[in-house]
Amino acid sequence: NAGVTQTPKFRILKIGQSMTLQCTQDMNHNYMYWYRQDPGMGLKLIYYSVGAGITDKGEVPNGYNVSRSTTEDFPLRLELAAPSQTSVYFCASSFSNSNQPQHFGDGTRLSIL
Amino acid sequence: AQSVAQPEDQVNVAEGNPLTVKCTYSVSGNPYLFWYVQYPNRGLQFLLKYITGDNLVKGSYGFEAEFNKSQTSFHLKKPSALVSDSALYFCAVRGSSGSARQLTFGSGTQLTVLP
């Protein structure tokens, strides 16, 4: 049971480039989330999904897009990379959005130069 | 808007001594409270949660947390710290309706247990 798997683990992008961060979970969780973690700032919610075909914005969605075509996969797209998007990105999933804990992947460390 | 405060960026404690990592929160309605731990280059791992019931919650690795409604606090505790407990700890809160149902995280507290 792999849990939540994120790829790649590390990536360096040039300003203006685009990329997709991949996230897949094998726990049959309905809810999935993307967070970014900046030093001393905790985690900020970028986007979330309550099921296949349904996504919604979180606290910091600007510059990002998501899709949810299957229960397992929830990719995050950066269209025009900017230095402010340098961060560590975490994907998480949970069975529901009430009292169930979220399960996190090990993150993607992204640098925009 | 809901919020979480972890007033200490860094907590140092000697091995074998009790530890406390502080957390206070603000949320509409009844709070759902969580503690997570993060080891270097890893994702967050769930430690424990308070939903309802007994104010003292026991979790993984010997950790516990006490919910105090009047002080809006949810401090993490352990009676005897281990060097292996050294990590980054996050408190998180979720409300019970609407957008408040999304988790809000504190800024984290770096715990260092000294041998």
Per-residue pLDDT at B98 exceeds 80: no
Residues A21, A90: Cα–Cα separation, whole Å? 10
Residues A30, B48: Cα–Cα separation, whole Å? 21
Select from B31, B25, B65 the least CA-distant residue to B47: B65
Which of B9, B39, B99, B103 to probe by mutation at the A interface, max A CB count within 10 Å?
Answer: B103
Minimal-distance CA residue of chain A relative to B103: A45
In B1-115, the DSSP E strands lie at 3-5, 10-14, 19-21, 24-26, 32-38, 44-50, 56-58, 64-68, 73-78, 87-94, 104-105, 109-114
Per-residue pLDDT at B35 exceeds 80: yes
Mean pLDDT value across residues A50-75:
95
Residues B10, B42: Cα–Cα separation, whole Å? 19
Per-residue pLDDT at B58 exceeds 80: yes
Apex CA A69: angle with CA A65 and CA A72, to 5°?
A: 100
Per-residue pLDDT at B97 exceeds 70: no
